[in-house]
Amino acid sequence: MVYVPPGATAWQRWTMCCLILLSLFGCQRGVPPPALSPPVPPAFWLSRTGPLPLLDDLDQESLRQALQRSLEYARRLPPDRPLAFGDTQIPASRLLQTLEAFQQALSLSPTPEALQRTLQERFEVVQSPGRDAQGDVLFTGYYEIELEGSPVASVQFPYPVYKRPPDLADTEAARSASGRVYYTRREIDVEGRLRGRGLELYWLRNPVDGFFLHVQGSGQIRLPDGRIQRVSYAASNGHPYTSIGRILLDEGRIPRAAMSLQGLRRYFRERPEEVTRVLYQNARYVFFRPVAHAPQGNLGVTLVPGRSIATDQRVFPAGGVAFVQMQQPVWNAEGTILTWKPATRFVFNHDTGSAITGPGRVDLFWGNGAKAEVAAGHMQHSGQLFFLLKRTP
């Protein structure tokens, strides 16, 4: 269901719906860290008149895990590597100093209140201007999808998951190594342009499962013998993403209130004749690689549920520590979301996505399982995003 904050004007409601539809199901993961050309206004960060309450609603163990992932990334970087920080840049050495100072504050603070005081004293806390220059940020979610599949093709499992083709150039510009525009989704899945080249990793039941695996960027594939195999983003064909949610909304085939990941699945299940017509209007295609562990973001670090976020890394520092004010679900005993309530926590910028652009978008990683799927499919709320940076002497 699309969430619109109380008191929003008609224009704000229309804008929020459009932004949600543009971003829905278009956040393919794992793309390399982008070049630094931040699309930001001259005066980027918002200032605050008083200290921000920095209280965290999750467990300390997940916080320490997510921090460690960022430290792993920062320690691999050359100290002078430039990282986006709004309308300016910081060297990777300052990112590392910030993360190490955060780790020290965490280890030396016996209570959440003590940690809050230490962070307020030693860190700059700056706010993203969001979509409206007033700090409004749209939060959506993603998760590790779980699908049934097979290591061999069969009548039951006829649709391939492909590994990266050797003739795909190392670029997001839709080119092959020879320079030609690479194959589209239709050319790959319908016309079989990659068939017979030994590129198949696994086989799925239907193209809808494959499409949603592409959107989430990682997944677990349960094989007939019960084994679980994980796959993660390896590359894309470079074509731009077209939102199938937006297509169906514009055509009046799905009402706004039903527009969610679950709503799209239901639509294709009830109208299988629509699959080919709709799916292949999106030319973008994702290739995968087998992985042994939990999904990784585009920085090559393992994502931590509830702590890892995806942002536009042309705007926000890859690996950076942030603080969010957002919404989280309230569940009933059957695993249904009853409502959403405010939440605040520290998160880390571990990922990006093809539709996560500009200062007003954040995608939160929910992990895997039934609740993660429901939460990720329905998270469409406004919130605020802050980044922390260690103060310089």
- The tokens for 22 are 């543009």
Residue 10 has pLDDT above 70, yes or no: no
Are 279 and 185 within 8 A, CB to CB? yes
- Same structural domain, 42 and 133: yes
Residue 49 has pLDDT above 60, yes or no: yes
- Same structural domain, 164 and 113: no
CA terminus-to-terminus distance, the chain:
48
Which of the listed residues 265, 291, 317 is the one where a domain comes to its end?
A: 291
Residue 280, domain CATH: 2.40.240.50
- Same structural domain, 327 and 193: no
Residue 5 lies in a domain: no
Give residue 216's Cα distance to chain centre: 8
**Which amino acid makes up residue 259?**
M
Are 309 and 351 within 8 A, CB to CB? yes
- The tokens for 46 are 């918002």
- Mean pLDDT over each residue of the chain, to the nearest integer: 86
The residue written with tokens 């939160």 in the block is 364
C-alpha 28/C-alpha 172 separation (Å) is 12
In tens, the pLDDT along 182-197 reads 999 999 999 999 999 9
Return the C-alpha torsion angle 64, 228, 329, 211, nearest 10.
120
How long is the chain?
Answer: 393
C-alpha 189/C-alpha 391 separation (Å) is 52
pLDDT at 280: 92
Instruction: Tally the domains of the chain.
Output: 2
C-alpha closest to that of 243 among 6, 3, 17: 17
Residue 221 lies in a domain: yes
- Same structural domain, 274 and 300: no
Which of the listed residues 291, 311, 341 is the one where a domain comes to its end?
A: 291
- The tokens for 143 are 């998760």
pLDDT at 347: 98
- 347: three-class secondary structure by DSSP: strand
- Same structural domain, 192 and 243: yes
- 64: three-class secondary structure by DSSP: helix
pLDDT at 173: 56
Residue 314, domain CATH: 2.40.40.10
Give residue 320's Cα distance to chain centre: 15
Residue 343 has pLDDT above 50, yes or no: yes
- Same structural domain, 172 and 258: yes
C-alpha 133/C-alpha 150 separation (Å) is 49
C-alpha 48/C-alpha 343 separation (Å) is 20
- Same structural domain, 37 and 87: yes
- Same structural domain, 152 and 281: yes
Residue 12 has pLDDT above 80, yes or no: no
Residue 2 lies in a domain: no
In tens, the pLDDT along 205-238 reads 999 999 999 988 889 999 999 999 999 888 889 8
- Same structural domain, 136 and 161: no
Identify the domain containing residue 219 by its residue range: 144-291
C-alpha 151/C-alpha 138 separation (Å) is 39
3-state secondary structure 178-232: CCCECCCHHHHHCCCCCCCCCCEEEEECCHHHHHHHHHHCEEEEECCCCCEEEEE
Residue 4 lies in a domain: no
- Same structural domain, 176 and 241: yes
In tens, the pLDDT along 114-147 reads 999 999 999 999 999 999 999 999 999 999 999 9
Residue 241 lies in a domain: yes
